[in-house]
Amino acid sequence: MHLSILLLFIYFREISAQFPRQCATVAALTSGECCPDLLSVVVPGSDRCGSSTGRGQCVQVMADTRPHGPQYMHDGQDDREQWPLRFFNRTCQCNRNFAGYNCGSCRPGWSGPVCDQQIQIVRRNILDLSNEERNRFLRILQQAKSTVHPDIVIAIRRREEILGPDGNTPQFENVTIYNYFVWSHYYSVKKTFLGPGQLSFGGIDFSHEGPAFLTWHRYHLLQLEKDIQDMIQDASFALPYWNFATGRNTCDICTDELMGARSNFDANLISQNSVFSQWRVLCESVDDYDTLGTVCNSKKGTEGGPIRRNPAGNVARPMVQRLPEPQDVALCLEVGLFDTPPFYSNSTDSFRNSLEGK
Ligand SMILES: *[C@@H]1O[C@H](CO)[C@@H](O)[C@H](O)[C@H]1NC(C)=O
Ligand SMILES: *[C@@H]1O[C@H](CO)[C@@H](O)[C@H](O)[C@H]1NC(C)=O
Ligand SMILES: *[C@@H]1O[C@H](CO)[C@@H](O)[C@H](O)[C@H]1NC(C)=O
């Protein structure tokens, strides 16, 4: 299972996201083809994947067909198996440094009209940003939280119900850029629906506790970074990083100047002096989606309560009682093998599993 997700990104790396707006149509879903024209052309289909300018071509999707590991025994029941074949079996493969669902953008690290200018993007320590840079970063996050994603929509039903009750009403919704970042993480970890009245299966997920952990999350962050670069039209925008392993065991970015201090009224809420106290939870009713076999949606007004930090108070997950310390990082880096059988949460001597905190 996890290995297949790792491979997914090798085969599928040109596709910037799951559901391009242009392919969330009855025609694309029934043909299985998501190869939009890049230029607006007189004859539809004459510039699929930017083919008229050599940017890419529409090809058969190759998904990994090797069997799942023993941790996943529900073959054939989840749309995410052999992604994206349940939805699309022909997608764009982009040439050179072109990328994106229609080959209309550039691979990370490249920019310019024909993606031939190499750019270096530097991710900086968030604590080293100047006041001005910090405020700009917060403004940008706020803008991402409220700007509708121009290219991507989210599926709000499983494949078998994706065309709607009448077979003609694709079940997709707009989503904001930041909420898309949240939603795609939710979609990768959501449980497998096994049928009405049956418990959904959450024994494994598609992005944690397996070899794809690092690859998946790198891609996830690259996607947000790219979406923000496009939003603010600045190809050099970089997400800052947080070095949490300082040995001080305090959340030094949990201040109102950065990610929000703790509320005085409720230790799990964010201080009202922070912009993040206004942010709402997306995908709050996970148990409902799992019971009904629906998928988290983003409709305005269905966003949940205020975001909470560490809602379980470390009670439900005692393994995260403290922040890692420098010696934890050093120990982790001493593990020489990337991952070991059974490639799961009980792998031993595995760099990946150590990094996941096991
Ligand atoms: C691709 O998907 C379409 C739509 O589901 C289906 O009709 C077609 O047979 C598939 N083609 C291949 C080669 O799997
Ligand atoms: C989604 O957003 C697009 C572009 O902003 C808009 O044209 C479209 O009507 C919206 N669709 C829905 C279902 O809200
Ligand atoms: C790891 O966990 C799986 C699933 O619970 C179990 O079948 C397997 O025996 C465990 N392997 C080891 C080495 O502990």
- pLDDT per residue as tens digits for the range 312-329: 444 455 556 788 899 999
Q: Whose CA is nearest to atom 7 of ligand 1?
A: 31
* 41: its two tokens: 């052309």
The verdict on the CB of residue 89 being under 6 Å from ligand 1 is yes
Strands (E), 33-159: 33-34, 56-60, 90-94, 98-99, 105-106, 110-111, 117-118, 154-155
Of the listed ranges 5-9, 33-37, 179-183, 250-254, the least confidently predicted one is 5-9
Q: How many other CB atoms are there within 10 angstroms of residue 285's CB atom? A: 15
Q: Which percentage of the chain shows pLDDT scores above 90?
A: 76
Closest ligand 1 atom to the C-alpha of 30? 4
- DSSP per-residue string spanning 271-295: PTTSGGGG-B-SSTTHHHHHHHTB-
Closest ligand 3 atom to the C-alpha of 71? 4
Ligand 3 centre distance from Cα of residue 213 (Å): 18
**pLDDT confidence of residue 300:** 55
Q: Are 98 and 105 contacting, i.e. CB atoms less than 8 angstroms apart?
A: yes
10 Å CB burial of residue 227 (0-12, 13-18, 19+) is: buried
Ligand 2 centre distance from Cα of residue 78 (Å): 28
**pLDDT confidence of residue 286:** 85
Q: Are 213 and 352 contacting, i.e. CB atoms less than 8 angstroms apart?
A: yes
What mean pLDDT do residues 325-338 have? 95
Q: Are 210 and 300 contacting, i.e. CB atoms less than 8 angstroms apart?
A: no
Ligand 2 centre distance from Cα of residue 23 (Å): 14
Q: State pLDDT tens for residues 115-158.
A: 999 999 999 999 999 999 999 999 999 999 999 999 999 999 99
Residue of 173, 174, 179, 297 to test ligand 2 pocket, by largest number of atoms within 8 Å of CB: 174
Ligand 3 centre distance from Cα of residue 328 (Å): 25
Q: Whose CA is nearest to atom 2 of ligand 1?
A: 32
Residue 14 has pLDDT above 60, yes or no: no
The chain-wide mean pLDDT, for the chain, equals 90
Q: Whose CA is nearest to atom 11 of ligand 3?
A: 346
Confidence of residue 302 (pLDDT cuts 50, 70, 90): low
Which ligand has the shortest distance to the CA of 27?
Answer: 1
**pLDDT confidence of residue 320:** 66
Closest ligand 2 atom to the C-alpha of 174? 1
Distance CA 194, CA 71 (A): 16
Closest ligand 2 atom to the C-alpha of 148? 5
Residues framing ligand 2 (Cβ under 6 A): 148, 174
Q: Are 293 and 300 contacting, i.e. CB atoms less than 8 angstroms apart?
A: no
Residues framing ligand 3 (Cβ under 6 A): 71, 342, 344, 346
Ligand 1 centre distance from Cα of residue 86 (Å): 9
Ligand 3 centre distance from Cα of residue 346 (Å): 6
What does pTM read for this prediction?
0.91
Ligand 3 centre distance from Cα of residue 192 (Å): 20
Cα dihedral 229, 234, 236, 238, rounded to 10, equals -40
